[in-house]
Amino acid sequence: MSWALITGEYPPQTGGVSDYTRNLARMLAAGRDCVTVFAPPCDGESPHDDNVRVVRLPDAFASRGRTALRAALLEIPAPRAAIVQYVPQSFGMRGCNLPFSSWLRSLHGYPLWVMFHEVTVTVRPSTPLKYRIQALATRAMARHAIAAADAAFVSTERWEPLLRGLSSSVPSVTCLPVPSNIALHADALRRSEIRARFTCTERPLLYGHFGTYQDATMRQTLRASVPRLLRHAQHAAVLFLGAGSDAFAAGLCDTVPALRGRIFASGALGSDDLADQLAACDVLLQPYEDGVTTRRGSIIAALALGSAVVTTGGPMTEALWRDSGAVVLAPDGDLDTFVKDAFALGLDVPRRTEMGSRARDLYARTFALEHTVAALKQRVLQERLLPT
């Protein structure tokens, strides 16, 4: 089987979709399939993985890039399938690349599948005009993409009603929750060393947060909740993890100078180091605008490591989060409950242990990358690309 993965980012480019696409490519290739990844140009060298060929297009899915992509797709031997890793902002033109999404409809001779990591830009009453215009463009892009697709995959079941609201001819839709993009296991010795660096006898409890620090609502929630939590939990410190964590932690310490020495940051880390530091935290604080969903890679990484997590439930939150008992769900926007739940979980070691076990089980049952590959190969049989 030959696979063509069309993505707006791929290593050395950073981002969740970049990591996701590489992990998917490697697992498909491990099954002796041939994988070709098509991505926009970037500085730096693409990774070299067995049976994975990376083709850098001459531009970010503009005219020359689309021409080169069409020619290269025709050279891939059958049986073959093309999968677009869809995030509207990743295809250039500031998330308004309508020519690209319209062009997808012109591809023939392939099953063309679209994996919707995101569908459109979300707007609210306070959203500035330029983002409202972008939202209209991304809705049109998604309408083109779904019309071109022979099958659609979504990172959360909440995207399916949105897609069906955009088009009357939506194909088969399968939910593929995103897997962890970092190492699935932590080193016990490194974990102990990290805890020794950030905790002490007087403050043995370590809270953590993993994210990109780009979402304004999440930053606001953390700025409001962490100082309150640390005032209650005098025995605790907080470690911010991920790219952008240094600047965020420094800004929080400037705002609340009394917390210096109790707030730390990791900065950007590689996969193994990030897993070790996440595993060193006793409780992770993961609030999300509109609630946690199966497309949030930061919390999925925590589940895989068996971390105890306090997160938020909202209109985007699927039933599995409450049903599994793997996380503590505070109502979206309820800071009092979020802080109270985080404080209580920090004191309750048996509950943290039980939640960790449930988190690992939920990850294995729902999020592991093997489920994604199995669903794609099942779709291959449905398309009759290979004999049963």
pLDDT at residue 183 greater than cutoff 60: yes
Residue 387 lies in a domain: no
The torsion angles phi and psi of 2, rounded to 5 degrees, stand at: -115, 135
Residue 339 lies in a domain: yes
Same domain membership, residue 293 and residue 228: yes
pLDDT at residue 229 greater than cutoff 70: yes
- What is the rounded CA–CA span in Å between residue 36 and residue 29? 10
Same domain membership, residue 38 and residue 115: yes
* pLDDT given at position 388: 55
Residue 290 lies in a domain: yes
* pLDDT given at position 134: 87
Which of the residue ranges 103-107, 154-158, 365-369 would you say has the lowest mean pLDDT?
103-107
Domain residues for the domain of 55 are 2-179+368-382
- What is the rounded CA–CA span in Å between residue 113 and residue 82? 6
Q: What is the CATH number of the domain that holds 279?
A: 3.40.50.2000
- Placement of tokens 């890039």 in the chain: 65
Same domain membership, residue 300 and residue 372: no
Residue 197 lies in a domain: yes
Q: Mapped to the 3 state alphabet, what secondary structure does 148-165 carry?
A: HCCEEEECCCCHHHHHHH
Same domain membership, residue 345 and residue 212: yes
Same domain membership, residue 194 and residue 169: no
- Please tell me the total count of domains within the chain: 2
- What is the rounded CA–CA span in Å between residue 5 and residue 38? 6
User: Residue 317 — very low, low, confident or very high, per pLDDT cuts 50/70/90?
Assistant: very high
Residue 165 lies in a domain: yes
Contact 289, 314 (CB under 8 A): yes
* pLDDT given at position 127: 79
Same domain membership, residue 143 and residue 48: yes
Residue 104 lies in a domain: yes
Same domain membership, residue 139 and residue 205: no
Helix (H) or strand (E) holding 113: strand 112-116
133's tokens: 């215009």
- Placement of tokens 């946690």 in the chain: 292
Same domain membership, residue 46 and residue 192: no
Same domain membership, residue 155 and residue 32: yes
| Whole-structure pTM value | 0.94
Residue 388 lies in a domain: no
| Mean pLDDT for the stretch of residues 342-354 | 97
Where residue 115 falls (left for φ over 0; alpha for ψ -120 to 50; beta otherwise) is beta
- What is the rounded CA–CA span in Å between residue 45 and residue 187? 29
* pLDDT given at position 135: 87
pLDDT at residue 104 greater than cutoff 70: yes
pLDDT at residue 61 greater than cutoff 70: yes
Burial category of 228 from C-beta neighbours within 10 Å (exposed 0-12, middle 13-18, buried 19 and up): middle
pLDDT at residue 352 greater than cutoff 60: yes
User: Residue 383 — very low, low, confident or very high, per pLDDT cuts 50/70/90?
Assistant: confident
What are 120-154's pLDDT values in tens digits? 988 777 778 888 888 899 999 999 999 999 999 99
Same domain membership, residue 65 and residue 146: yes
End-to-end CA distance of the chain: 13
User: Residue 42 — very low, low, confident or very high, per pLDDT cuts 50/70/90?
Assistant: very high
Residue 163 lies in a domain: yes
* pLDDT given at position 195: 95
| Mean pLDDT for the stretch of residues 257-263 | 95
Same domain membership, residue 226 and residue 135: no
Q: In what order do the strands lie in the sheet with 2-7?
A: 52-56, 34-39, 2-7, 80-86, 112-116, 151-154, 173-175
Same domain membership, residue 300 and residue 174: no
